[in-house]
């Protein structure tokens, strides 16, 4: 006699599969969390250090005659500070943190500007732009969009050592046009950006790993492996999608989709090359002594009188006593005990029309954006130069 027992295990199989997927997602989330914490810590301390270096270099540059032989060295110091700040920005981008100032922007504008700067450094690459003049606006952080575009350009350029074509195009599309890709896009209108190069391309294995942090095929010193990881993080935090299409020896095309904004465009001051001098009184609040010291010197040099406060509570006291005199408060966001957010709220209770420029090297999950939503006037990222600062102050005071 034969006894046969059948058991349908498809449900169990399915549950197991789901478990593995959840597990990988969990590990990924943990990795992201760890990098986020790391990036946050570095960004906060490191950017304060850079702030001091940058500020002192700015002050010295301002003192020197342009013919002074030290001017070049100081400019080199400023450039090195900017590179250092970019590294922390990459990490923050990957960790999806530090999305500060979101406004309706046109991607074409950023592409043109970045391509312009870029083409000057790589003459053997010919850049072709096919930009849709009617392109919709997107809600995005301008600095982060620049970072994305620049990262893609640098990679394309690395893939075309001997020269080649870089083709940039933008279009208005909808989720319908995005069918058949790996993800399931939310319904709605999108702006599509493609960055195509005629470089060395990638094999399948490489393509699968390009968005991993620290994955690089470049030799030591050339690649950090953070470029595309940060691109990915930034696009995700903007509710967008990214795709890559490549073949070895055939070049590479990146497609990026970002959701269209439903807001009106607001006007932006064009960036200036010069320090904008002004007059008035500013209260500078920061818990780092170094930042206070160099910051107050910078502010005085731009033409303003300055009060300083080392903590949120001290800032409230100073503001209470001098509110008639103080035209603007520059407020550090992360401080022990009373942070920037709380200090801002308290100042608003003293004077609802208080003007506040928020400053930080890092924001915890868009905390800066939160404070800005509550009415805070603007945000400046540390480390900033004398020029950056003067432009920001002027912008806030003019409003």
Residues at the interface with Mg ion (CB under 5 A):
155, 227
What span, in angstroms and rounded, lies between the C-alpha atoms of 248 and 217? 14
Using CB distances below 5 to 8 A depending on partner kind, what does residue 224 bind out of Mg ion, ligand ADP, none? ligand ADP
Q: Select from 59-67, 199-207, 281-289, 330-338 the region that touches ligand ADP (CB under 6 A).
A: 199-207
Cβ neighbours of residue 33 closer than 8 Å, sequence gap 6 or more: none
Judge whether 326 and 282 are in contact, CB under 8 Å.
yes
- Side-chain half-sphere exposure of 348, counting CA atoms within 13 A: 14
Using CB distances below 5 to 8 A depending on partner kind, what does residue 332 bind out of Mg ion, ligand ADP, none? none
Rule CB under 6 A: choose which of 252, 261, 296, 359 binds ligand ADP: 252
One character per residue 111-150, x = contact with ligand ADP (rule: CB under 6 A): ----------------------------------------
Q: Which is nearer to ligand ADP, 156 or 393 (CB)?
A: 156
Q: Select from 104-112, 114-122, 210-218, 354-362 the region that touches ligand ADP (CB under 6 A).
A: 210-218
What span, in angstroms and rounded, lies between the C-alpha atoms of 353 and 348? 7
Rule CB under 6 A: choose which of 225, 278, 303, 366 binds ligand ADP: 225
Using CB distances below 5 to 8 A depending on partner kind, what does residue 189 bind out of Mg ion, ligand ADP, none? none
Provide the minimum distance between the beta carbon of 368 and Mg ion in the complex, in angstroms, as a whole number: 27
What span, in angstroms and rounded, lies between the C-alpha atoms of 46 and 63? 26
What span, in angstroms and rounded, lies between the C-alpha atoms of 341 and 321? 20
User: Six-digit token pair at 188?
Assistant: 């709605």
Provide the minimum distance between the beta carbon of 200 and ligand ADP in the complex, in angstroms, as a whole number: 6
334 binds ligand ADP (CB under 6 A): no
Question: Is the preceding peptide bond at 383 cis, omega within 30 degrees of 0?
Answer: yes
Using CB distances below 5 to 8 A depending on partner kind, what does residue 57 bind out of ligand ADP, Mg ion, none? none
With contacts defined by CB under 6 A, how many residues of the chain interact with ligand ADP?
22
Nearest Cα residue to 216 out of 199, 203, 231, 228: 228
Question: Nearest residue to ligand ADP, using CB?
Answer: 227
Strands 125-130 and 305-309: unpaired
User: Six-digit token pair at 181?
Assistant: 């890709």
Q: Select from 110-118, 223-231, 297-305, 377-385 the region that touches ligand ADP (CB under 6 A).
A: 223-231
Q: Which is nearer to Mg ion, 30 or 82 (CB)?
A: 82
Rule CB under 6 A: choose which of 25, 217, 322, 337 binds ligand ADP: 217
Using CB distances below 5 to 8 A depending on partner kind, what does residue 282 bind out of Mg ion, ligand ADP, none? none
What span, in angstroms and rounded, lies between the C-alpha atoms of 52 and 40? 19
Q: Select from 15-23, 89-97, 106-114, 208-216 the region that touches ligand ADP (CB under 6 A).
A: 208-216
- Classify burial at 350, counting beta carbons within 10 Å of its beta carbon; exposed 0-12, middle 13-18, buried 19 or more: exposed
Which alpha helices (H) appear in the chain, and where do they start and end? 10-63, 70-94, 107-121, 142-159, 204-209, 227-237, 289-302, 312-322, 340-350, 367-373, 386-398
Provide the minimum distance between the beta carbon of 361 and ligand ADP in the complex, in angstroms, as a whole number: 23
377 binds ligand ADP (CB under 6 A): no
Rule CB under 6 A: choose which of 111, 149, 200, 275 binds ligand ADP: 200
Terminal alpha carbon distance of the chain:
93
199 binds ligand ADP (CB under 6 A): yes
One character per residue 144-173, x = contact with ligand ADP (rule: CB under 6 A): -------x---xx--x--------------
50 binds ligand ADP (CB under 6 A): no
Rule CB under 6 A: choose which of 55, 93, 185, 227 binds ligand ADP: 227
- Side-chain half-sphere exposure of 295, counting CA atoms within 13 A: 32
What span, in angstroms and rounded, lies between the C-alpha atoms of 74 and 34? 36
Using CB distances below 5 to 8 A depending on partner kind, what does residue 229 bind out of ligand ADP, Mg ion, none? ligand ADP
Cβ neighbours of residue 229 closer than 8 Å, sequence gap 6 or more: 90, 93, 94, 211, 212, 213, 214, 215
Residues that bind ligand ADP (CB under 6 A): 151, 155-156, 159, 197, 199-202, 206, 210, 215-218, 223-225, 227-229, 252
């Amino acid at each position: 006699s034969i006894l046969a027992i059948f058991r349908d295990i498809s449900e169990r199989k399915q549950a197991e599969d789901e478990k593995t997927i959840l597990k990988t997602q969990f590990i990924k989330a943990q990795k992201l969390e760890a990098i986020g914490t790391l990036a946050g810590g570095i960004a906060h301390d490191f950017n304060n250090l850079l702030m001091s270096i940058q500020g002192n270099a700015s002050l010295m540059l301002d003192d020197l005659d342009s013919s002074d032989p030290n001017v070049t060295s100081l400019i080199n110091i400023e450039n090195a500070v900017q590179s250092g700040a970019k590294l922390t920005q990459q990490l923050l981008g990957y960790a999806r943190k530090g999305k500060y100032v979101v406004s309706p922007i046109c991607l074409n504008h950023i592409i043109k500007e970045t391509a312009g700067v870029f083409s000057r450094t790589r003459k053997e690459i010919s850049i072709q732009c096919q930009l849709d003049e009617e392109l919709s606006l997107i809600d995005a952080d301008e600095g982060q969009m620049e970072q994305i575009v620049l990262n893609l350009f640098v990679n394309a350029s690395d893939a075309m050592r001997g020269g080649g074509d870089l083709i940039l195009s933008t279009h208005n599309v909808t989720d319908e046009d995005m069918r058949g890709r790996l993800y399931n896009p939310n319904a709605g209108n999108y702006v599509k950006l493609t960055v195509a190069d005629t470089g060395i391309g990638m094999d399948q294995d490489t393509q699968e790993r390009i968005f991993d942090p620290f994955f690089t095929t470049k030799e030591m010193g050339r690649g950090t492996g953070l470029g595309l990881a940060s691109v990915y993080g930034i696009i995700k935090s903007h509710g967008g999608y990214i795709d890559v299409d490549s073949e070895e020896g055939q070049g590479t095309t990146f497609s990026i989709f970002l959701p269209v904004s439903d807001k009106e465009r607001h006007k932006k001051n064009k960036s200036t090359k010069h320090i904008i001098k002004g007059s008035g009184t500013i209260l500078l609040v920061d818990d780092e002594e170094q930042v206070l010291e160099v910051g107050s010197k910078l502010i005085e040099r731009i033409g303003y009188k300055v009060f300083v406060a080392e903590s949120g509570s001290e800032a409230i006291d100073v503001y209470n006593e001098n509110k008639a005199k103080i035209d603007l408060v520059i407020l550090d966001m992360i401080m022990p005990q009373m942070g920037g957010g709380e200090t801002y709220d308290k100042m608003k209770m003293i004077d609802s029309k208080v003007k506040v420029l928020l400053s930080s090297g890092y924001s915890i999950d868009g905390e800066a954006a939160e404070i800005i939503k509550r009415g805070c006037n603007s945000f400046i990222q540390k480390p900033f130069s004398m020029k950056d600062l003067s432009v920001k102050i002027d912008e806030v005071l003019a409003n």
